[in-house]
Structure 1
């Protein structure tokens, strides 16, 4: 029996050639209904003329999508995927079913088995990613060729002064003074990438250079905070940029051990009969500069601060408050904190 210009047998044969099972044909809509043998949960309908199109490769959209995905991802099956990992000295864990390019793939690096099982996505792998330890080793070997004399010349060419006298590894921090006179530190890899002095970067985005600048609406106490930046750097440098209690080098705050910042700042502000929240746009720029310099001198007069990890710093102030703090309080806190830490280790 003919269904238009095609017989039922022809339609059935056409559907079967695409690994599908014919169900029925609707005369009114001229659509053929069938199921894919690989995706039986879905009933699919296709226009009869479209189904007999010569260049038609798939009747099932899911099959077409899967084939397209196979071609795009660059491998046919999990066996070929494992062989690609092997070529990069990585052993793919067995019995992993690939689903998409963002799926974590578990592997063990042949050169760094001590790291255990690691993960990587196919998307990262296609971009050339490898074991992180192998990557660091490659970078290290590239940077290790630099000698301290060559690094010094590199800094000199940028108008900076290198203070460090040795280069140990790629993670070794190099202390230097930038062309603007800021004391800071960096690692060689970052410096070669063009990452310069972070203080200069902050200044370039501060005040009128900031996109949220409102013509001097910032309160004066924020300006005064920034004026003691050099004192902060000197304090950090004294302790080798590490917390004086925990030895950690991240999330550092410089603690005013002898006299609080607010006490010193209020002295300056009251001296010039100004308000604590006075907008700097209402103050003469020369006066602002004088106030900042005077506050900086006061900070040095009372000695450098003590770097503390943020958590430790907050714990100190939660115990002793944020005003009228003394060096005796800090010594007491340091002693009790170390006792507590030693007990926790036991």
Structure 2
């Protein structure tokens, strides 16, 4: 038995059959069914770098938490303890003492010099970075930390009002929300390139809002499974990627590599047919964590029947093994 398993709460965990692990588990005596099927595995039989989630106990506060097996094993290399998100800073201090002799690496002389110089950004530099993106800083300070939020307004879209962004965000080429939508909204944009994924993004962000509202309204803006308000996402009973592909086929428009290879009429025809197909089958509102759980179980190439089976299984508490501290993993 491995040393790690002696201080792990879980005795077994659930994994999926995959092509890379198939022979490994078959050699250990597990019976292969089919790729993608879930099966139960002893913790002792997991590979050292397995991404299967297991139940462990925080050595500092005693809270139970689920972590991937690889994170547990690699995370114990310096300090052989497990820490939850509230206690990980304590473990970090212990690691720093062992590796550097201090509880925080910012106390090292060489790091203090680096941090001091990196936190200070001259106001002239800030103004220049914003002006390059046609933005105007709405303040008169001269000292900024990388994570501070700066107020600004867009010279192209003044109706958006005052917006906020970090200096790091500006340096990483983000900015005005409306400008971002313009960059992906039409072939007149010099940034509109890259193929199918951006056409999908454009259609989903500009075409489906009314469909989502109708879907929510049918269920009185409550989760279709828990009957609760708030934090809802609209689930496609029939996958969007299939609707997208079928619309191309019915219109006899080939799927093209770049968005600017489509004509304006082709884009409009695709949008209209996709919307028509959506209105023929409304979506289902689900709590965000339940929506995530559904796709964790069934993937994304799904059917309406799988949703109704999932709803039945959920109501019968068949997914409780995936719950830790009232949250789905």
TM-score by length of 2: 0.37
TM-score, length of structure 1 as denominator length: 0.35
